[in-house]
Amino acid sequence: MKLSRLLWTTAAVALFAGCTKSPNNQTVINSPSSDAGLEALDNTPGTNSIQFVDEAGQPLVGAKILIGYDVNDPFKGNELVTDTSGLVSIPSDWKVSLPLTVVSNGHVRTTFDSVSPVTSTYRISLGEGADNLEVKGNTTGFGSLPTDGMADFGLVIPAFTQKKLMHFDISAVISPSVDTIRVAGQKLDLPSNLTLPDQTENYMIPIRLSKPRYRTFVRRDGQHKFFALHGRFPFKKVIDDVRGGKSVYDIINHFDFVGGGVTDVPVDKSGGLADMSVSTVNFNSTLTVRAPAFAVDKSLLSLVMSDLGGGLVPTDLKRLLPNQTLNLKTTTTAKETFVLHILTQTQNLAGESPRLAVMSTDLEEGTEPQSSEPQSSEPQASEPTADEGIRILAGGGLNPGASFNQLTFALQRSQNTNPPTFLDMVAPPQIEPNLIRLKAPPAPAGISPVATYLVLSEVEEIMAGKVKSERRTRLWELFSPTWVDAVKLPTFTLNRLPNRKYRWEVMYVGRTADTGAGNTTLPGADLLEGITHVTRNAADF
């Protein structure tokens, strides 16, 4: 029995979790100020000046500001430094709209395209930290679990905001480190943020599963909000389907999401410690989701996201067929409930099939059941050989970079039961020296273009045991206030590391035309307010 495939499947249920309101029921997520990202604020700092602030609204002191494409281009004196109030005076030679680039220690290098020389205030994104700070503890609240044919699991993931959904990083959902347990005499590597409450289920023989502890990671200290999800699946059915060659997404609809709990965890430079209950919120309600017609070479995933305590957390995930209607689970305790509809290429999902290497010591009828207490709570430094254990997420089974670069998604309020409308998928960006060529999609009726959003990231591929994941660090964010087919880049020296790859990602973002949120025609408008639609793609180099 390829038990590794089964347990890998439990980790994949939150693949898009690992991510706002309008009169026509389209979703408009009002991002909290701590996650606002590249946006201009409504307040004005004073006459003939521009102010730059961080995500908490505090002035950026000593930030370097470049107006144009290079020092003294297009005019002399175009490089400025913010004062103690985060202010720079608007140069008299600045006459037309130009790129505005901000460089501040600890923040992401940011360029706003086509900025006019008018008084305004801009907020700049905080960068990722250099360290991995470990958060660990137990998942609790499963109760006494009978042998009922249903395998229970927990998954500790961060609460999401709109921007975190746009910047989905698989390491936030599937931990890049592993823990090792022993099942029926075999070593089993599992993502460290996945837990298995103590239980026994039958597949030819009784099989005991137990891994109460989780470990996950953040990259900055401070207060962090986590969600501990409780899920279940029919043990024998899922094993049989996986052994029959079905992919994770062919069997995802077998998964039943029971409940969960939100925990605020203080994290310092030594990490964080917290036990997390999976039973504080019951998924006690349903909502109706309808799929549109779409081509057979594409697949639709619909994810229910509930606002619990200021963070968006997943309560259900299902794959829908064209024109299909399903009821998905949610909770009546949510402040708001939304549905994230994700359309991607079917071949991308096939690439996520749990076709993982397992050892020749697969469980067979008559094998003696063994204790499955965790053997270690630390990542394994060495990779197991073919006779040492079962590998989970091995050999690119979750290739984190390539599979989901191209997708399009729509956000809707839960009250809107109409099939979603999607932006067309777009081609990857074409990278040239100081120029990125793009191909903007057509704007469907009722959806207004808001911005073209580009991100340059440094990507480190991480292997812990046989688990492959990515650690992604944003180096540069660029915004154009319209949908464009090319972006001219200000001069930027990239110090490339030999053991890293680099990724340009493009996102065309839009909103329904009648939301009334934001005003992209005015300087200082909040370009991200009221986003309902995104189509994205990326290119590595």
The CATH number assigned to the domain holding 48 equals 2.60.40.1120
Q: Distance between CA 273 and CA 2 in Å, rounded? A: 33
Contact (Cβ atoms closer than 8 angstroms) between residue 21 and residue 413: yes
Up-side HSE of residue 109: CA atoms within 13 Å toward CB?
18
Q: Is residue 96 part of a domain?
A: yes
- Amino acid present at 149: G
Q: Is residue 465 part of a domain?
A: no
The per-residue pLDDT of the chain, averaged, comes to: 79
Provide the 10 A C-beta neighbour count for residue 155: 29
Burial class for 146, CB neighbours closer than 10 Å (0-12, 13-18, 19+): exposed
Cβ partners under 8 Å of residue 376, min gap 6: 179, 180
Contact (Cβ atoms closer than 8 angstroms) between residue 187 and residue 173: no
30: left (phi over 0), alpha (psi -120 to 50) or beta: beta
More confident residue, 164 or 408: 408
Please name which of 466, 461, 463, 462 lies closest in space to residue 384, comparing C-alpha atoms: 466
φ, ψ for residue 329, nearest 5 deg: -85, 150
Q: Distance between CA 418 and CA 212 in Å, rounded? A: 41
Looking at the DSSP bridge assignments, the partners of residue 342 are: 301, 409
Q: What are the DSSP calls for 123-177, one per residue?
A: E-PBPPPSS-EEEEEEEE---PPP-SSEEEEEEEEE-B-HHHHHT--GGGTS-SS
Does residue 388 have a pLDDT over 80?
no
Q: How confident is the model at residue 345 (pLDDT cuts 50, 70, 90)?
A: confident
Contact (Cβ atoms closer than 8 angstroms) between residue 338 and residue 312: yes
Q: Which two tokens stand for residue 244?
A: 């029959």
Q: Is residue 54 part of a domain?
A: yes
Which pLDDT score is estimated for 260? 97
Which pLDDT score is estimated for 55? 84
Q: Distance between CA 186 and CA 516 in Å, rounded? A: 58
Q: What is the pLDDT of residues 186-227, one digit of tens each?
A: 777 778 999 999 999 998 889 899 999 999 999 999 999 999
Strands 79-81 and 109-115: unpaired
Q: Which helix (H) or strand (E) holds 236?
A: helix 235-243
Q: Is residue 62 part of a domain?
A: yes
Q: Which range, 37-41, 75-79, 411-415, 457-461, has the best average confidence (pLDDT)?
A: 75-79
Q: Distance between CA 161 and CA 164 in Å, rounded? A: 5
Please name which of 166, 407, 397 lies closest in space to residue 298, comparing C-alpha atoms: 407
Q: What are the DSSP calls for 378-442, one per residue?
A: S--SS---TTTEE-SS-TTTT-TTTTTSSEEEEEEETT--SPP--PPP-PPPEEETTEEE--PPP
Up-side HSE of residue 267: CA atoms within 13 Å toward CB?
23
Which pLDDT score is estimated for 167? 66
Task: Please state, in angstroms and as integers, the Cα–Cα distance from residue 209 to each residue in 373, 490, 513, following that order.
Answer: 8, 55, 51
Q: What is the pLDDT of residues 120-140, one digit of tens each?
A: 989 898 999 888 899 999 999
Q: Is residue 433 part of a domain?
A: no
Q: Which two tokens stand for residue 92?
A: 């008299």
- Amino acid present at 447: I
* Three-state secondary structure string covering 192-213: CCEEEEEEEEEECEEEEEEECE
Q: How many domains does the chain have?
A: 1
What average pLDDT does range 377-389 have in this prediction?
34
48: left (phi over 0), alpha (psi -120 to 50) or beta: left
Q: Is residue 119 part of a domain?
A: yes
Strands 49-53 and 120-123: parallel
Domain housing 46: 39-123
Task: Please state, in angstroms and as integers, the Cα–Cα distance from residue 22 to each residue in 171, 172, 510, 518, 521, following that order.
Answer: 32, 29, 13, 12, 19
Q: What is the pLDDT of residues 294-310, one digit of tens each?
A: 999 999 999 999 999 88
Which long-range contacts (C-beta less than 8 Å, at least 24 apart) are formed by 52-55?
A: 52/82, 52/86, 52/88, 52/102, 52/104, 52/121, 52/122, 52/123, 52/124, 53/86, 53/121, 53/122, 53/123, 53/124, 54/104, 54/107, 54/123, 54/124, 54/126, 55/123, 55/124, 55/125, 55/126
Q: Is residue 110 part of a domain?
A: yes
Q: Is residue 160 part of a domain?
A: no
Q: Distance between CA 129 and CA 276 in Å, rounded? A: 25
Q: What is the pLDDT of residues 497-537, one digit of tens each?
A: 888 999 999 999 999 865 444 444 333 334 666 789 999 99
| CA-based R_g, the chain, Å | 24
More confident residue, 370 or 205: 205
Contact (Cβ atoms closer than 8 angstroms) between residue 93 and residue 68: no
